[in-house]
C-alpha cells in the first residue's frame, strides 16, 4: 500500500512539475545541448523582444522584462522542450490595441492585462477547457494570423520611412502614410530597406548551414564552417541591430543624427511591484479604482488569453513529435508565466513558432534551455540597456517586418478551394474583418461565422435514400448520417415525410435507418413519433432500424404505439417477407421480444 502511494505521489508530481521527469535523465551531454539551444534562442529573442515592445507601445526595456520569467517558469511547468514563452508580434499588437487609450497609463494597463490573462489561462487549464480551442477552425486561425501579420507590418511603415503620425487601424495607417508621404526621411528609409534586404538574405543562409546537433555517426558530422553559417543565419537579428547601433553611435559621435533613434532605457533589474494596485489621487487628479481599470481593458481580458492559448496549444502540437500534448498543462504553464511576469513589469506573452523552430534546430533536449535564455536576458537588461538608445527605429521596424512577413498564409486559400470551397467563407470574412475592423473583433467575427456554419450543418444533416427489393417486396431505406437534436428534428421530419410520400419513391414501406444516431434528445424523439403518425395517415408503413438500446428506450418512452423497431436490417427483411402482411403487428411482436 505504501509503495502504491509513493508511486502515485511521484506520478502526480511529474504531472504537476514536468521538469522532474526531464531532470531524472539529465546529464552533461543534455546540459550542453540545452545551453547551445538557450544561447541561440537568446540571440533571436533579445532583439525581437526589444522591437516587439515598441509594437506594444512600450519602451524597449519592457520587452526584456517580459522575456525574463517566461523561459524560467515554463522550464518548471512546461512539457515541450522547444517552446520559449516571451513577447510575440501578435500579442504585442493586441496589447497596444487594448492599452493605448486607457486613462491610467498604458504600462500599468499592460501589466494588469498580463496578470488577468495569466489568471484566465491558469483556470482554463485547471478546468480542462482546452476543448474550446477546437471551435476555432484552421481557416479562421490562418486568416487571423495572416491579417495580423499584415497589420503588424503595416504598423511599422511610419518607422520604416521615418514618418511621425498617429494611426491605429490598417486603413488609417495607409491613409496617413499617403498624407505624409512628402515627409519621408531618406536616411531612415534607406537604412530600413537595407536592413530588410540583409535580414532576408541572412535568413536564406540557413539553407546552406547545418545546426550544431551531435550525431553518433562520424560521417554525418557537419563541417565547422557550415555550423558557423547556421549560427550567422540564426543570429541575424542581433547582428543587424548591433551593427546599426554602432553605426548610429559613430554618427552621433561626429554630431550627426541621420536616423530616428530609440528613447533612452533605464538599466538594471526590473522593480518588483503588485500588478493589482489602484491609481491614487495626486494633486487633485481623480484616481482610478481596480473595477474602473478592468472596465477600460474590456474585451482584452478575454481576447488576449484566448489568442495566447490558441497559439500555444497549436505550436505545442506542432513540436510534440507524435506525442499527445497535455493542453491543460500547457495552459497552466503559460498562465503561470504571465502571472509571475506581471510582478516584473511584463506584458502578455506566449510561445513563438519561429523561436521554437530555432530551438528545435539547435538540438534542444529539455525545457531547461529556457533558463539559459533567461540568464541571457538578465545580462542584457543589466549591462546592455544604456546602449539601446542608439538603435535606429527603422532597424527595429525591419526586424519586425521580417519576423511577421512569413506568417502570412494566403496560399492556404488554394488548398481550401480544392478541399472544401465552403471553408473559404469563414476564411475570407475573418481576413477582411481583421484588416478593416480590427484583429480583436475580426477573430470574434470569424469564430461566430464558423459556429453559424457548424450550427447549419448540425441543423441540416444529410439523409441518404435508396430503394431496396427483398423477395417480392420493395421498400425505401432512408439513412440518417448523424445524431438528431432539436435543431435538426423538424427538418428531418419534413424531408422523410415529403420524400416517402412523393411520386418519385412510389413505395408504401419505409425503413428509417438510425444506426448512425448516437444521441437523440426529447424534441427529436417526439418528431420521430410524428413521422410515424404522418406516414401511417398517408397509408405508408414505417419502421425504424435502431442498434443502440438507449435510442430504443428514448423512442419507446415517446408513448407512440405506431413505433416499429428493428435492431438489424436482416430482421426487418425477414419480417417483411413473413407470413403476416400487417407490418405493424409483426414488428410489435419483435419489439416486445427485445
What does the alpha-carbon distance between residue 381 and residue 395 come to, in Å, rounded to a whole number? Answer: 19
What is the 8-class DSSP label of residue 263? P
Conformation bin of residue 160: beta by default, left when phi > 0, alpha when psi is -120 to 50: alpha
pLDDT given for residue 503 in this prediction: 56
Which three cell numbers, joined as nine digits, stand for 357?
A: 523552430
CB atoms closer than 10 angstroms to residue 320: 14
What is the fold of 460-593? Transcription Regulator spoIIAA (3.30.750)
Q: For residue 541, which of 531, 550, 551, 549 has the smallest C-alpha distance?
A: 531
Beta bridge partners of 544: 512, 565
Each domain of the chain, given as residue ranges in start order, spans 16-278+309-419, 460-593
Q: How far is CA 555 from CA 124, 563, 572, in A?
A: 38, 8, 17
Q: What is the Cα–Cα distance from 560 to 114, expressed in whole angstroms?
A: 58
CA-wise closest residue to 587 among 555, 563, 554, 553: 563
Contact 188, 161 (CB under 8 A): yes
Full DSSP string of 326-388: -HHHHHHHHHHHHHHHHTTT----EE-HHHHHHHHHTT--STTHHHHHHHHHHHIIIIIGGGG
Distance CA 313, CA 324 (A): 11
The pLDDT assigned to 585 comes to 36
Q: Cell for 580?
A: 403476416
Instruction: Read off the pLDDT of residues 256-309 as tens digits, 9 standing for 90 and up.
Output: 888 888 877 777 788 888 888 777 655 545 667 888 888 999 888 998 998 898
Distance CA 220, CA 145 (A): 37
What's the start-to-end Cα distance of the chain, in Å? 46
Q: Spell out where 441-552 has E strands.
A: 463-470, 473-480, 509-513, 541-545
CB 305, CB 121: distance < 8 Å = yes
422-442, pLDDT tens digit by residue?
Answer: 889 999 999 999 899 888 788
Q: Can you list the residues of the chain whose pLDDT is less than 70?
A: 1-13, 212-222, 280-287, 322, 503-506, 559-563, 579-594
Amino acid at each position: 500500500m505504501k509503495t502504491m502511494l509513493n508511486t502515485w505521489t511521484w506520478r502526480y508530481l511529474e504531472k504537476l512539475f514536468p521538469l522532474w521527469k526531464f531532470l531524472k535523465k539529465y546529464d552533461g551531454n543534455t546540459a550542453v545541448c540545452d545551453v547551445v539551444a538557450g544561447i541561440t534562442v537568446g540571440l533571436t529573442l533579445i532583439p525581437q523582444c526589444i522591437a516587439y515592445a515598441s509594437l506594444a507601445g512600450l519602451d524597449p526595456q519592457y520587452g526584456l522584462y517580459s522575456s525574463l520569467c517566461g523561459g524560467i517558469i515554463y522550464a518548471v511547468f512546461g512539457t515541450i522542450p522547444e517552446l520559449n514563452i516571451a513577447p510575440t508580434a501578435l500579442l504585442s499588437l493586441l496589447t497596444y490595441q487594448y492599452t493605448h487609450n486607457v486613462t491610467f497609463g498604458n504600462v500599468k494597463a499592460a501589466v494588469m492585462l498580463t496578470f488577468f490573462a495569466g489568471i484566465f489561462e491558469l483556470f482554463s487549464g485547471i478546468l480542462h477547457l482546452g476543448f474550446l480551442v477546437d471551435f476555432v477552425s484552421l481557416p479562421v486561425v490562418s486568416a487571423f494570423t495572416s491579417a495580423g501579420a499584415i497589420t503588424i507590418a503595416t504598423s511599422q511603415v511610419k518607422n520604416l520611412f521615418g514618418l511621425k503620425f498617429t494611426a491605429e487601424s490598417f486603413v488609417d495607417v495607409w491613409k496617413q502614410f499617403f498624407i505624409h508621404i512628402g515627409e519621408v526621411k531618406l536616411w531612415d528609409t534607406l537604412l530600413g530597406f537595407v536592413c530588410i534586404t540583409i535580414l532576408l538574405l541572412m535568413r536564406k543562409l540557413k539553407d546552406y548551414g547545418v545546426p550544431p546537433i551531435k550525431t553518433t555517426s562520424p560521417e554525418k558530422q557537419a563541417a565547422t564552417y557550415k555550423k558557423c553559417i547556421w549560427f550567422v543565419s540564426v543570429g541575424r537579428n542581433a547582428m543587424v541591430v548591433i551593427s546599426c547601433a554602432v553605426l548610429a553611435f559613430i554618427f552621433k559621435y561626429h554630431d550627426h543624427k541621420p536616423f530616428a533613434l530609440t528613447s533612452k532605457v533605464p538599466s538594471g533589474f526590473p522593480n518588483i511591484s503588485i500588478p493589482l494596485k489602484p491609481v491614487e489621487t495626486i494633486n487633485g487628479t481623480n484616481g482610478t479604482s481596480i473595477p474602473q481599470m478592468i472596465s477600460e481593458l474590456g474585451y482584452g481580458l478575454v481576447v488576449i488569453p484566448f489568442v495566447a492559448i490558441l497559439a500555444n496549444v497549436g505550436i505545442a502540437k506542432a513540436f510534440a513529435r507524435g506525442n499527445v500534448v497535455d493542453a491543460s498543462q500547457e495552459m497552466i504553464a503559460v498562465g503561470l508565466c504571465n502571472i509571475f511576469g506581471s510582478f516584473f513589469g511584463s506584458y502578455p506573452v506566449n510561445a513563438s513558432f519561429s523561436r521554437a523552430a530555432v530551438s528545435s534546430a539547435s538540438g534542444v533536449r529539455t525545457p531547461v534551455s529556457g533558463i539559459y535564455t533567461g540568464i541571457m536576458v538578465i545580462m542584457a537588461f543589466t549591462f546592455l540597456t544604456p546602449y539601446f538608445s542608439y538603435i535606429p527605429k527603422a532597424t527595429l521596424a525591419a526586424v519586425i517586418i521580417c519576423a511577421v512577413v512569413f506568417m502570412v498564409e494566403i496560399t492556404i486559400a488554394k488548398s481550401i478551394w480544392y478541399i472544401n470551397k465552403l471553408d473559404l467563407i469563414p476564411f475570407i470574412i475573418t481576413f477582411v474583418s481583421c484588416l478593416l475592423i480590427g484583429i480583436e473583433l475580426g477573430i470574434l467575427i470569424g469564430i461566430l461565422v464558423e459556429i453559424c456554419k457548424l450550427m447549419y450543418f448540425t441543423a441540416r444533416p444529410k439523409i441518404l435514400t435508396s430503394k431496396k427489393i427483398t423477395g417480392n417486396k420493395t421498400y425505401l431505406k432512408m439513412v440518417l448520417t448523424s445524431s438528431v437534436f432539436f435543431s435538426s428534428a423538424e427538418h428531418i421530419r419534413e424531408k422523410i415525410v415529403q420524400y416517402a410520400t412523393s411520386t418519385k419513391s412510389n413505395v408504401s414501406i419505409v425503413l428509417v435507418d438510425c444506426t448512425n444516431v448516437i444521441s437523440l434528445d426529447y424534441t427529436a424523439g417526439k418528431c420521430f413519433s410524428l413521422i410515424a403518425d404522418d406516414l401511417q395517415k398517408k397509408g405508408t408503413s414505417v419502421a425504424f432500424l435502431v442498434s443502440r438500446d438507449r435510442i430504443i428506450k428514448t423512442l419507446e418512452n415517446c408513448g407512440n404505439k405506431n413505433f416499429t423497431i428493428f435492431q438489424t436490417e436482416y430482421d426487418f427483411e425477414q419480417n417483411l417477407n413473413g407470413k403476416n402482411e400487417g407490418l405493424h403487428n409483426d414488428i410489435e411482436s419483435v419489439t416486445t421480444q427485445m
